[in-house]
Amino acid sequence: MQDPSERSTAEPLEFREVTKRYPGSAEPAVDGLSLEVPAGEICVLVGPSGCGKTTAMRMVNRMIDITSGDILLGGRSVRERKPEELRRHIGYVIQQVGLFPHRTVGENVATVPGLLGWDKARIAARVDELLDLVGLDPHVMRDRYPAQLSGGQRQRIGVARALAVDPPVMLMDEPFGAIDPINRERLQNEFLRLQAELRKTIVFVTHDIDEAIKMGDRIAVMQVGGRLAQYAPPAELLMAPASEFVEDFVGADRALKRLALQRVRDIDLWSVATCRVGEPTAAVRERLTEADLDIPLLVDDRQRPVGWLSDRALLGERAREELRSRADPIVELDDILRDALSDLLASESLYGPVVDADGRTVGVLSIQVISHAIGSAPAEVPGATELAASEAAAHAEAGAEAEAQAAAEADDE
């Protein structure tokens, strides 16, 4: 329904030496904050309570006045715009959602279009479009009241309402904070999919570093006193925390957290010798010498993994179906590395076959491959993480052979 010409593009956002001082308090709430958010990216403000992250966010739409410095939206100072007019063009999502209980879902979503004086037909069409966008059936939902919705549905309506006039910028204050962990994960994923399509410039506030790593294109870690401790993409933040504060804040498991940022397809997998039942064993042996793993993988006629062959399987002329173990777990190329590692650990395996979207075997993921991936940073960084990284790399190389051997022995038992 929407005319493409009126679809606004995302705008860059810039904090320029922004300070907020409340009268009567010695410490500023936000202290000289400078950062740039490129158009279409999610900037997560994260930090402990009292670090000024929400204050910083609320200065963007002038819910809180700036004491000194400036915030530029699309190159234009927010200070020279009328607060109401400015806010109508900035999406606003808060933790408690703030749906109006006395208005239906449709009326809630229509709030800002109504304020901007859109005509009825255009509003109605836009409401249905938005409900569709957030995965709710307009015919079922439109006339319900917020009290008749689940927490997750309310949150989706909150997002739809914020997107109503397709604002170039969105502010989200702990938007998934009040949702239970299972639904939070789902809503986060949904929102990331939505964002991949909409490409809004988003300021996202959270106190949860894991959420920050998951949602952020860039993360601004703030510390008490309203100072910016570090502003970096998630991987860089985890690889090279700029200070002890950041290092503590991202947590001792930051190497593990980095696994959440990579997918199996992003790393170099081991090659594997595949083998079908009845194949000449000589050919399989030939392939085994070239493979990274010295255990052949039995596959079916569509290259789907079946299991790891035992030594006896290749004793004859033709390969027989004698397994030392099932192919478990089977990892997919699109799996997040952290989840893949978890699968390996759960099934007490040191390696597992990797399949593509059609289920065909493309390689092997092993614990060694993963630890090597942790060690080789996407960005070359010296400093705090160097030790951990080089340790992991050394371990991966030196220990690979011994461990593969040990694994084979373990599997034999």
Q: Which is nearer to another protein, 142 or 218 (CB)?
A: 142
Min. distance of Cβ 101 from another protein in angstroms?
6
Q: Whose CA is closest to 141, among 108, 183, 115?
A: 108
Contact 168, 74 (CB under 8 A): yes
Nearest to 39 by CA among 65, 72, 70, 83: 72
Residues numbered 56-115 forming contacts with another protein, rule: CB under 8 A: 61, 63, 83-89, 92, 94-104, 111-112, 115
What is the closest distance, in whole angstroms, from the C-beta atom of residue 344 to another protein in the complex?
43
Can residue 413 be called a binding residue for another protein (CB under 8 A)? no
Binding-residue total with another protein (CB under 8 A)? 32
CB 35 within 8 A of CB 229: no
Q: At 273, which amino acid appears?
A: A
Of 45 and 99, nearer to another protein (C-beta) is 99
147 binds another protein (CB under 8 A): yes
108 or 385: whose CB is closer to another protein?
108
Closer to another protein at the Cβ: 88 or 126?
88
Nearest approach in angstroms of CB 111 to another protein is 6
Q: 225-244: which residues touch another protein (CB under 8 A)?
A: none
The verdict on 8 binding another protein (CB under 8 A) reads no
Q: How far apart are CA 139 and CA 153, in angstroms?
A: 14
Per-residue contact flags (x/-) with another protein for residues 115 to 134, judged by CB under 8 A = x-------------------
- Nearest-approach distance from CB 86 to another protein, in angstroms: 7
Q: In the complex with another protein, which residue's Cβ is closer, 172 or 219?
A: 172
Nearer to another protein, 83 or 278 (CB): 83
Q: Which stretch binds another protein (CB under 8 A): 65-73, 120-128, 140-148, 315-323?
A: 140-148
| Min dist. Cβ of residue 124 to another protein (A) | 19
CB of 140 to another protein, least distance (A): 13
Give the DSSP per-residue string, 331-346.
EETTSBHHHHHHHHHH
Minimum distance from residue 143 beta carbon to another protein (Å): 10
**Which position among 38, 64, 145, 325 is part of the footprint of another protein (CB under 8 A)?**
145
Nearest partner of 319 among 303, 302, 296, 301, judged by Cα: 296
Q: Provide the minimum distance between the beta carbon of 220 and another protein in the complex, in angstroms, as a whole number.
A: 21
Contacts by 251-255 with C-beta closer than 8 Å and gap 24+? 251/209, 254/385, 255/374, 255/385, 255/388, 255/392
Residue 139 Cβ vs another protein, minimum distance, rounded to whole Å: 17
> By C-beta, is 148 or 189 nearer to another protein?
148
How far apart CA 302 and CA 178 sit, in angstroms, is 46
Secondary structure (3-state) at 246: helix
SS3 115: helix
In the sheet that holds 361-366, the strands lie side by side as 331-332, 351-355, 361-366
By the rule CB under 8 A, 326 interacts with another protein: no
Q: Which residue, 384, 371, 377, 310, is CA-closest to 344?
A: 371
The answer to whether 70 and 16 are in contact (CB under 8 A) is: yes
Q: 319 exposed, middle or buried (CB, 10 Å; 0-12, 13-18, 19+)?
A: buried
Minimum CB separation of residue 99 from another protein in Å reads 7
* Closest to another protein by CB, 17 or 85: 85
Question: Three-state DSSP class for 97?
Answer: coil
Burial, 127: exposed, middle or buried (Cβ in 10 Å; 0-12, 13-18, 19+)?
A: buried
Choices 142-150, 236-244, 293-301, 324-332; region in contact with another protein by CB under 8 A: 142-150
Residue closest to 352 by CA, chosen among 407, 310, 281, 391: 407
Task: Kindly identify the residues of this chain, within the stretch 262-321, that bind another protein according to CB under 8 A.
Answer: none
CB of 146 to another protein, least distance (A): 8
309, 322 contact by CB (below 8 A)? yes
151 binds another protein (CB under 8 A): no
Which positions lie near another protein, rule CB under 8 A? 61, 63, 83-89, 92, 94-104, 111-112, 115, 144-145, 147-149, 161-162, 171
